[in-house]
Amino acid sequence: MLKGRSLIDPRDFSVEELEEVFELAEKIIKSPEDFSKMCSGKILATLFYEPSTRTRLSFESAMLRLGGNVIGFSEASSSSVSKGETIADTVRTVSCYADVIAMRHPLEGSAKIASLYSHIPVINAGDGGHQHPTQTLTDLLTIRTLKKGLSNHVIGLCGDLKYGRTVHSLIKAMSRYNNNKFILISPEELSIPKYIKREVLEKNNIPYEEVRTLEEAMDKVDIIYMTRIQRERFDNKEEYERLKNSYILDNKKMSIAKEDAIVMHPLPRVNEIAYEVDDDNRACYFKQAKFGMYVRMALIAKVLGVI
Ligand code: CP
């Protein structure tokens, strides 16, 4: 039963509950007009304290396509946070005006705090370098659809594995399905955090290897998941400049990838996928962005209990 539930960590929903969301998303994709009034009279509040294009707009588009309405802010400076209001008071107030909240905030753990004070479901739209569970739903629906299921994949994760919250959430999520293996491709300085290695991969006996170049992984992966180096999380700007172009996926590297591999990226991209790759039919990142809207439609409908 997902009605009234918050989504803070990708593992807040069981595998069976996620399946419910994906099955509904599939129905919406097949016949969106059947769902166009489903959230009539309901309001989504988008509280974005950090910049966003895809997450905020896909949430808003999702609610509008379900026949609901949207309120919110896209930067902290236009809300009373700029006068010193706490997250707790903001969400208690917004609970009086809306039926569901999607919140992005730079502080890790902020979405959890919001859910403790809110009277309506809170969906974590990204909390600092921690988690981004609706990007994970997006990624899982993309893989489930384009790679025919969520098991038996070799997944290459490349780029900023230290600060990239989408990667942390995706590893947690894909570790729950059978026979997946990870190849972690990053500079040593941007390696996956130790707690993910210990608490998620090693604890669950999930095979993984760490490599430093894309070339070492390209012919082995079924899914190559590129990420940008997260400039905003660096304290030392010189370190960012040194690492920012560590990986660039181009047609030459794609020439050694499997015929049926797919390239994913949560976007925004900076320089890590050359524009020439966009014409390769294995490049799926814009399809992925569209799956994000459909899966958020399904998620909103489920937590509101309208289906
Ligand atoms: N993938 C993602 O979270 O993109 P935005 O930062 O544009 O929302």
The whole-number pLDDT of residue 288 equals 98
Q: How far is the CA of 56 from the centre of ligand 1 (A)?
A: 8
Q: Taking the model in full, what pTM does it have? A: 0.96
User: Which residue from 267, 284, 287 has its CB within 8 A of the most atoms of ligand 1, so it is best to mutate?
Assistant: 267
pLDDT tens for 223-259 read: 999 999 988 888 899 999 999 999 999 999 999 999 9
What is the reported pLDDT for 82?
Answer: 86
CA of 205 to the centre of ligand 1 (A): 31
* Domains annotated on the chain, with CATH: 10-132+292-304 (3.40.50.1370), 134-289 (3.40.50.1370)
Cis, bond preceding 187 (omega within 30 deg of 0): no
**Which stretches in the chain have pLDDT values below 50?**
none
Arithmetic mean of pLDDT over the chain: 96
Q: Which amino acid is at 122?
A: V
- Of 103, 135, 168, 272, the residue with max ligand 1 atoms within 8 A of its CB, to mutate for a pocket test, comes to 135
